[in-house]
Structure formats: structure tokens, C-alpha cells
Chains A and B, each alone.
Chain A
Amino acid sequence: MAGLGTGSGMRTKSGGTVRGAAGALSVAAGLLCGGASALLGLCGPFTDVAADAFCPFVLEIFTLGITTGTTPTTYDPSGNVTRLQMAAFLSRTVDSALRRSSPRTIVDRLWTPRGALAGATTVGMNPVFPACDGADVWVPNFNSSTVSRVRGSDSRLLETWTGATGASGAVVAMDGVFVCGFSNPGALFRIRPNQSPGAVTAVATNLGSGSSGLVFDGGRFWTANYNVGSISIVVPGPSLPWTVTTVTTGFSNPIAALYDGANVWVADQTVGKLQRLDAAGAILQTVTIGAFVGIPVFDGVNIWAPTLGGASIQVVRAPSGAVLATLTTDGWPLAAAFDGQRVLVAATGTNQSPPHSVSLWNAADLTPLGTILLDSLRPNVACSDGLNFWVTFRDDPLLLKF
């Protein structure tokens, strides 16, 4: 104990010394123990842990809240760890690491909104799938056949691109922003955001009818085509138009697609299925979710699939397809988005009657964080830039930040 008390410093993992921290911890331990110096720890508050090379590790997990010790002054360093105790340690490790490294922590924005925040941005009519590029939010507007560019930092409308007939799904990839057109046949449009705004460029106009959702797999674009029931795979090439392959086998009304790092998944709405596809678009696996599946999101481990009919979210493990949990929601959930820690679910009221809402969930343990009632504002689809969620609205030309 003399070493700590006399300020000779403590070893850190990297071999340096921390003097201030050691002193502070000793004082804190003393206060906790009523100032009885006899109870001051050998290693921070822990009287049963030696101030040796392991001490910095013990102190780190104590400081991070990963352990609280077996008592306020003991850590039981030679005790074994049961699998149950280990679960607590690992769970707290993930929570602490995510919380500390979150952009929301860095900019001191840890609140969860309790109501619709002011500052909605007016975009085009019937805004659909928004896409975040890290700085700006790109919003396809279905009825206006335009794409709005909104600055993430201050919600300012920067640009409006035109000519995107039936603009629906969007993805930021390659050298630009890509938007698919819900038309017959479907289309894929390109925006070069480093150019001045103007008309979008059609890179393919022979996709399956009703291209709704859009995703990129690192080499090709995939669209979920709602009307006839197909998916289209678009291969970028040096000249226009780009090559399109459309697959119909096994699809009814695909509404959205996602890429999990290995496979493309399609949400087939009316039949209520998630379908995992191979590189050619053939169905590898079908996971039954429930009638009227909405817009799913992948959180790095699991797929969150909203089902309107079930008034629930199915959490599905990728790639096994096992349903881990069924989360009951208020109203009919339409779409999910993920910000690195939380999942936002946009929902209409039951039978599409107000109040509509968005709800937030802790993605790590699936616990609900709260529901924000939106009254008559009917949410549509959402995306995240890692700091905020951005939600479009079905009946209003609005983009709102949460």
C-alpha cells in the first residue's frame, strides 16, 4: 500500500505509470470505507488484489463498471468464474465499449428524445427510403420523382435532384448515390454528388416492375421489385446501360433488401418472409416472419424484421435464420434502422389510425428504450448516420431527425 500512498505511481498495461489516478482511487476507496486507512486497497479499492502486473487490468474493468467486485473492497482474484458470472462480465464489456466509443457520447448527446423534435426539413412529396452518406441525408421523393440532399449537421436542404421517376430505395455506394424507381419496368438512377445538382442519370431502365428497396453488395446493385414479384441484379459497367438480370422464381412482393456482409436478404412483404439469396439471386433459405413484413435492418449480428400483421419485430440471427425473439410493438411497425447501438422502429397506429409513433430499442439486449408518439404524422422509413436517426413521413413532405 505504501507505493500508492506515497505517490510512487501504478503500472499501466502499457508499462507507464499513472500517479494521479492511483491517488484518486485510494482517496475514493478511503471515503467509501469511512476513511479507515487500514481498509485502503492494495489495488484500488480491492484489499485482496496485489499491486502487481495484473492490477491495472482489474482497475480498468472496475473503472469501466464491468466488475463491482465481490464486495466493495474485495475482488476474489483467485476465484473461478462461472458461465453465469461471465455472461455479466461480457455483457457489461460490450455495453461499456459501445457507449464510450459512440459518436453520441463524444458530442454529449446521450438523450433519447421524448417527443418529435423541432426542425423538420421540407423535402419532396411522399419521401421514402432515406440514405446517409456520413455527412448528408439523401431522400428519394416518390411522388415528386426527385431526390433531396439534406445536411446532417443542421438539417438544411442543400440540393434537389430531378428526373428520378418513382424514386424509392436509395444507397450510397461507388462514386455516388443510387436510387431505384418504382415504375414499370423499374429503373436505377445515379447521382454524382460531387457535381452540381440537376437531373439524375438512368443507368438501367429494364428492371423488374416496381423497384422498391435497393442494396449494394460491393460489386452489384440489387433491387426488390414489388409489383410482379422479382429481384433485379444490376452490374456496373464502363458504359450505359448497365447489365440487368431479373429473377422471379420464389418471389411474391419483395419490398426491401439488405446485405449482411455475406448475402443479400429480401423482405417479401405479403407472404411475410425473409429470403437469403445466393450470388445469382436464387433463394438459399426462407425465414417465415409473419404477414406483411416491413423494412428490415441488419445490426451487424441480427436482422430486425418488422411485421405489420403481427404488430411485432422478429429478431432473426444471420445467417442461421433462427428467430431469437419476438418483440411486441405499439401499432403496426413499418421500418427499422440501426445507429450502432439502438434500433429505431417506425410504426403507424393500429389500423393505421393515429397516434403514429417511433420506438427505440437497445440492440444489444433487445430492451425497449421508449416510444415517441407522433400523433397524426405517419412515419415511413428511417436511416441513421451514427449520431441521429432520420425518418421520412408518408403523408407529409418531411424529414425529421431523432
Chain B
Amino acid sequence: MKSFPKHRRLPAILLALAAAGLGAAEAVVATCGPFTDTAADAFCPFVLEIFYLGITTGTTPTTYSPADNVTRLQMAAFLSRTVDGTLKRRGKRAALRQYWTTQNSTVLGLTTVAQSPRFVRYDGADLWVSCSNGISRVRASDGRPLETWTGAPNAAGVLTAIGKVLIAGGGNPGSLYVIDPSQPAGAATTVASNLGNVAIGIAFDGTRVFTANTSGSVSLVTPGASIPWTVTTVSSGFITPTGAVFDGSNVWITDSDAGTLLKLDPSGTVLQTVTVGSNPNFPVFDGTSLWVPNATGSTVSVVRASNGAVLATLTGNGLALPRAAAFDGQRVLVTDSGSDAVSLWKAADLTPLSTIPTGASTSVYAAASDGVSFWITLSNVNKLARF
């Protein structure tokens, strides 16, 4: 094949046919695109844009009814399509032409990490994975294992903040480890070793690091110029704090044994208690709502962050001992620890998308997103899976 086929010179006959076809298309006359009742004035480009974007289909294929009013019901459809269309185009998956959803465990991209990976977090380029014998760093663009850091026993929740990687240490007492990712891999630095027992969940509010300690407390760690960093541990109002998430205003903690989601003030005092399902674990915030996987309840509570209202309690879609949630800008993924699977929802309207197995006996644990793919820890096989 000496010349690539699409560059062949066109036979004259084909050119003539193409021109004839084009002429026929132009014979269709409309005032503003397909709409014969809309003038070709300053408003026409706006009408055409929402037509091209699929936000309106017109009142008929050839009319738009420009002078009609809009009911609140119709407006809901227009706004919903506007948000959907904007998110779909803006997502990085659109530019990278990745419109697919992974369908089965065979097509997962697997990276071997350290032993028994649990939590994972994305820093904008790389993924950081807490494992039983170290912290693995994996490049998101190609899944390449880059580094393994040591010195973080009982590593649990991971956070990327203040230019560092922070890891909750779930020992007795709990610890906070810090990795400087600009340095060669080595041992993590222990910046505090007097947190409440069994620190697992971790969140940052812009000032302090919050850890959820399943022994019944929340620790607030203030980064400082010297080590150790200052720790305040609050136990009032907590039974089994497990997950932690910051919504831009407040830190929320799941209290597993209480079946509640707790909104905290900056000092760790409980401001609001939201009853969710049984055994809530590791939630995620999607910009508006908190998604709370309730493990033994096999449900997901969707809670509006601004007022704590439970918008929906999701069931089905393969939920089986759901443990952790992640958000990619459009979709929420929940890990199903009871069935070696993940469940996917469309975040904007809470519709279930699919349940995808991660492989037998893989022990799916937690997940994060880089905005293109989800990354899932498979604890039993020491893998980080690109989904």
C-alpha cells in the first residue's frame, strides 16, 4: 500500500455526485436553521446553538414557537439538558474520545502495587495507594508504578493536600504520615503519633486535617513548621467514625455503628446529624450531594450537603456491602465489597448505569477518579485497576 487510501485523488464522477447531493441539501429553505417561524435576527444564533446541542428539538421539526412562554415543567427539561450537555462536552473523557464504560473484568487495566492495597487518591498526575507494607505511587496516564514509600504502618485513608501526600495511620494510637512527592522515594515522615486510636478516614478543610478514628473520636491535626504537628482529639458525639469528606464548607464524618452522617464545625463539634443507612463507610462529595455507601444496609444514601436532606436511598444496581464511593465529574462509582464488583450511577439524576465485576476473589476495596478513569484497589490480588 504505497499511498494511504483516503488521499486518493477523487474520480471526477464522484466529485460531480457529491456536488449534486450538496445542491439538493441547500434547496431546503428555512429562516433560522430548520425553524421557519424564527427570524434570522440577533436571536437566531442562540436558537441554533441550543438546537445543535440537543437542548431543544423545536415544537415541531420546522417550528420553534419563539414567542411562546415557557412553563416550569418545560424549563426543567431545558435546564436538565443544558447541564447534561455541558458536562458531557466538558468532561476530559470527551476530548480523549473515551465515551465507553468498562464492561467486564477482562478489560480492566491492572497495575501491581504493594501488598493489600486499600485507599487511593489522585494528585493531578499520579495515584497514591495505601498498602499494608507501603505507599505506592502510580502514574495515571499509563498506569506505570513509579515508587513505593515505606514507614507508614497501618496506612489507611490517603489525602493529597498542601503539596504533600497525607496518610492516616490506623494504629493505637493513630498517626499521621506525610510524604513529600518532590523527594526521592523513601520513608514517610510521621508528623503526629497521638491521634485517636484507629484513624482511617481523612479529610482537609484548608486549615486542618481531620481523621475519623473508629475507636470513637475525630482528630484535628494542624500542619506546622516543626514536628510534631498539633493534635486535638474530640470524642463527644461519636461512636465509630469511619469516613471523612469535606464539601467546601464543612467536614462530614460517617459514624458506622450509629448509622449517621455527621456535619462538623471547624473545631470538630457536631453541627448536624443525618440518619443514613446501616453501617455507613467512605463517602464522596459530587459538588452538590454526598454519596454515602451503607455497607450492611447494601444501600447508598444521597444527602444534599447544603441542608442535610436525604434526597434518595439507592438500592439494587448490584449493591452488596458497598464500602467506598468515587466521583469522576459525571458518574459515581461505589465499590461492592460483598460481590467483587463496582456499581455505577449517573450523578446528575441518580439513574443506575451498570454493575461491573472486578474478578473473582479480588476483594475490591476503595476507588478514586482522575477525571478520565476510575482507579480501584483490588486488595486480595495487590492490584490497582484502571476502570
Q: Which chain A residue shows the least CB distance to B56? A: A87
Q: Give the complex CA separation of A101 and B66 in angstroms.
A: 30
Q: Give the distance to chain B from A40, nearest Cβ to Cβ, in Å.
A: 30
- In the complex the two chains form, is A84's CB within 8 Å of B86's CB? no
Q: Which chain A residue shows the least CB distance to B90? A: A101
- In the complex the two chains form, is A394's CB within 8 Å of B4's CB? yes
Known interface pairs A226-B5, A352-B7; 17 further A-B residue pairs with C-beta atoms within 8 A, sorted by A's residue number: A87-B49, A95-B49, A102-B90, A133-B142, A174-B107, A219-B104, A291-B15, A291-B18, A301-B52, A301-B88, A308-B6, A312-B22, A326-B22, A340-B89, A341-B89, A365-B49, A366-B52
Interface residue? A71 (CB, 8 A): no
> If A128-B4, A219-B103, A299-B89 touch, does A325 touch B143 (CB 8 Å cutoff)?
no
**Residues of the B chain whose Cβ atoms lie less than 8 Å from the Cβ of A93:** 82, 86
Chain B 78-111: CB-based contact to A (< 8 A → 1; otherwise 0): 1100100110111110111111111110111111
Interface residue? B48 (CB, 8 A): yes
**Residues of the B chain whose Cβ atoms lie less than 8 Å from the Cβ of A133:** 96, 141-142
**Residues of the A chain whose Cβ atoms lie less than 8 Å from the Cβ of B51:** 324
Q: Give the complex CA separation of A340 and B91 in angstroms.
A: 7
**Residues of the B chain whose Cβ atoms lie less than 8 Å from the Cβ of A298:** 97, 99
**Residues of the A chain whose Cβ atoms lie less than 8 Å from the Cβ of B4:** 126, 128, 142, 380, 394
B interface size (C-beta, 8 A):
79
Of the candidates B52, B82, B95, the one whose C-beta lies within 8 Å of that of A315 is B52
Q: Kindly name the residue among A80, A87, A339 whose own CB sees the greatest number of chain B CB atoms within 10 A.
A: A87
> If A212-B5, A348-B7, A351-B9 touch, does A97 touch B103 (CB 8 Å cutoff)?
no
- In the complex the two chains form, is A385's CB within 8 Å of B96's CB? yes
**Residues of the B chain whose Cβ atoms lie less than 8 Å from the Cβ of A189:** none
> If A325-B33, A386-B92 touch, does A84 touch B38 (CB 8 Å cutoff)?
yes
Of the candidates A132, A295, A297, A301, the one whose C-beta lies within 8 Å of that of B6 is A295
Q: How large is the interface on A (under 10, 10 to 19, 20 to 34, 35 or more residues)?
A: 35 or more
**Residues of the A chain whose Cβ atoms lie less than 8 Å from the Cβ of B111:** 175, 194
- In the complex the two chains form, is B66's CB within 8 Å of A324's CB? no
Interface residue? B182 (CB, 8 A): no
A-contacting 9-mer, from B39-47, B215-223, B237-245, B291-299? B39-47
A-contacting 9-mer, from B67-75, B166-174, B184-192, B273-281? B67-75
Q: Give the complex CA separation of A292 and B107 in angstroms.
A: 34
Q: Which chain B residue shows the least CB distance to A80? A: B69
Instruction: Offer 11 A-B interface pairs, CB within 8 angstroms, sorted by A.
Output: A15-B306, A84-B64, A98-B90, A101-B90, A226-B5, A255-B5, A272-B18, A309-B10, A324-B52, A340-B95, A365-B49
**Residues of the A chain whose Cβ atoms lie less than 8 Å from the Cβ of B109:** 174-176
B-contacting 9-mer, from A1-9, A57-65, A107-115, A257-265? A257-265
> If A98-B90, A394-B7 touch, does A134 touch B15 (CB 8 Å cutoff)?
no
Q: Give the distance to chain A from B38, nearest Cβ to Cβ, in Å.
A: 7
Interface residue? B372 (CB, 8 A): yes
Q: Give the complex CA separation of A147 and B69 in angstroms.
A: 56
Within 8 A of A (CB), among B1-15: 1, 4-7, 9-10, 14-15
Within 8 A of A (CB), among B23-51: 25-26, 33, 38, 43, 45-51
- In the complex the two chains form, is A364's CB within 8 Å of B53's CB? yes
Q: Give the distance to chain B from A386, nearest Cβ to Cβ, in Å.
A: 4
Within 8 A of B (CB), among A149-186: 166, 171-176, 182
Of the candidates B14, B46, B94, B140, the one whose C-beta lies within 8 Å of that of A87 is B46
Interface residue? B65 (CB, 8 A): yes
- In the complex the two chains form, is A338's CB within 8 Å of B5's CB? no
Q: Which residues in A have some Cβ–Cβ distance to B below 8 Å?
A: 14-16, 80-88, 90-95, 97-98, 101-102, 126, 128, 131-136, 142, 166, 171-176, 182, 193-194, 210, 212, 216-219, 226, 236-238, 253, 255, 258-261, 269-270, 272, 288, 290-292, 294-295, 297-302, 307-310, 312, 315, 317, 323-326, 332, 334, 338-341, 348, 351-352, 363-367, 378, 380, 383-386, 394
Q: Give the complex CA separation of A323 and B99 in angstroms.
A: 22
Which 5 pairs of residues, A with B, have the shortest CB-CB distance? A309-B18, A175-B109, A135-B141, A194-B144, A218-B100
Chain B 355-383: CB-based contact to A (< 8 A → 1; otherwise 0): 00000000000000010100000000000
- In the complex the two chains form, is A193's CB within 8 Å of B43's CB? no
> If A97-B86, A142-B4, A365-B48 touch, does A83 touch B110 (CB 8 Å cutoff)?
no
**Residues of the A chain whose Cβ atoms lie less than 8 Å from the Cβ of B19:** 309-310
**Residues of the B chain whose Cβ atoms lie less than 8 Å from the Cβ of A386:** 92, 95-96
**Residues of the A chain whose Cβ atoms lie less than 8 Å from the Cβ of B118:** none
Interface residue? B249 (CB, 8 A): yes
- In the complex the two chains form, is B141's CB within 8 Å of A83's CB? no
Interface residue? B54 (CB, 8 A): yes
Interface residue? B125 (CB, 8 A): yes
- In the complex the two chains form, is B90's CB within 8 Å of A97's CB? yes
**Residues of the B chain whose Cβ atoms lie less than 8 Å from the Cβ of A175:** 108-111, 143, 386
Q: Give the complex CA separation of A166 and B2 in angstroms.
A: 11
**Residues of the B chain whose Cβ atoms lie less than 8 Å from the Cβ of A126:** 4
Within 8 A of A (CB), among B237-273: 249
- In the complex the two chains form, is A297's CB within 8 Å of B142's CB? no
Interface residue? B224 (CB, 8 A): no
Q: Which chain B residue shows the least CB distance to A95? A: B49
> If A14-B249, A269-B5, A325-B52 touch, does A290 touch B103 (CB 8 Å cutoff)?
no
Q: Give the distance to chain B from A360, nearest Cβ to Cβ, in Å.
A: 14
Q: Give the complex CA separation of A350 and B367 in angstroms.
A: 51
**Residues of the B chain whose Cβ atoms lie less than 8 Å from the Cβ of A307:** 18
**Residues of the B chain whose Cβ atoms lie less than 8 Å from the Cβ of A338:** 94-95, 97
**Residues of the A chain whose Cβ atoms lie less than 8 Å from the Cβ of B352:** none
Interface residue? B145 (CB, 8 A): yes
- In the complex the two chains form, is A83's CB within 8 Å of B64's CB? yes
Interface residue? B227 (CB, 8 A): no
- In the complex the two chains form, is A218's CB within 8 Å of B103's CB? yes
Interface residue? B21 (CB, 8 A): yes
- In the complex the two chains form, is B6's CB within 8 Å of A366's CB? no
Q: Kindly name the residue among A173, A339, A351 whose own CB sees the greatest number of chain B CB atoms within 10 A.
A: A173
- In the complex the two chains form, is A88's CB within 8 Å of B107's CB? no
**Residues of the A chain whose Cβ atoms lie less than 8 Å from the Cβ of B49:** 87, 91, 94-95, 364-365
Interface residue? B225 (CB, 8 A): no
Interface residue? B208 (CB, 8 A): no
**Residues of the B chain whose Cβ atoms lie less than 8 Å from the Cβ of A85:** 43
Q: Give the complex CA separation of A217 and B143 in angstroms.
A: 20
Q: Which chain A residue shows the least CB distance to B61? A: A322
Interface residue? B55 (CB, 8 A): yes
Q: Give the distance to chain B from A353, nearest Cβ to Cβ, in Å.
A: 11
Of the candidates B5, B22, B52, B140, the one whose C-beta lies within 8 Å of that of A364 is B52
Q: Give the complex CA separation of A183 and B268 in angstroms.
A: 65
Q: Give the distance to chain A from B28, nearest Cβ to Cβ, in Å.
A: 10
**Residues of the A chain whose Cβ atoms lie less than 8 Å from the Cβ of B106:** 219, 236-238
- In the complex the two chains form, is B54's CB within 8 Å of A98's CB? no
- In the complex the two chains form, is A290's CB within 8 Å of B94's CB? no
